[in-house]
Structure 1
Amino acid sequence: MTEPSNDLSIGQVAGRTGLSVHTLRLYEREGLFTTEVRRTATGRRVYGQADLDWLEVCTKFRASGMPLESIRRFAALVKAGSGNEKERLELLRAHQCRIERQVAELNDCLALIAGKVATYEQHVDAGTAADLWTGIGPRA
């Protein structure tokens, strides 16, 4: 008796990851996988659990704004195997710093918006909201 295959088609991977078939092909063309995408005898792409795990990492990298070039570099380092951990760490630290700056900027924006919401809530509750927007100064 043969064991059931854990191999997935590109359509199945698209369904599981939320990535489009087009994006999966792009990731392969761009060298963003840490291993070569396997093919069946008829040339169809075949993915395994390790591919799904890596795609989850890629998705988080992309969602956090990591450029494709950085993901490509990181994938190449992973493909190359051990001995380049310092370079991987430097790449991840640089991206972490970018995200931390973005989070700080967003927190500043959120604080400003929260202040505006509080001001508008006070004026709406008091029935004085009609003249809030003057387009100048802190009243806006």
Structure 2
Amino acid sequence: MGGVNEIPQGTLEQQTFFEAVGGEPTFRRLVRRFYEGVAEDPILRPMYPEEDLGPAEDRLRLFLMQYWGGPRTYSENRGHPRLRMRHAPFRVDQAAHDAWLLHMRAAIDELGLEPDLERQLWDYLVYAAASMVNTAG
């Protein structure tokens, strides 16, 4: 028999990271702020062929929301993320990596997340940025 203070198995709801940070509104703010930086960045802006950054903003927001436990809209619309393949046509070097993280850091800082959640998000984004590098220099 379990102790008096035991919580019966299956009675605690697991909250996803997506929910813990505030759901879609948080990811909208993050990605919107990120692309405000990209729009003015001489290294990153040329990597976005669309005149308007809106489609890229939508793709990144949907991807991040799905990755962190939100709706699966990204995969439903675009299939498997295949991030390296999708970035292969673009020259992603150390300068692009650094610029991407610079704008993402500014966007994260404006969210005001709890430190543990912020660290978890940042660590993933640092890893993701490094994995997109496909050109020396």
User: What's the TM-score once normalised by structure 2's chain length?
Assistant: 0.26
Normalized per residue, the structure richer in helix is 1
Higher-RCO chain (CA-CA 8 Å, sequence separation at least 6): 2
TM-score with structure 1 setting the length: 0.25
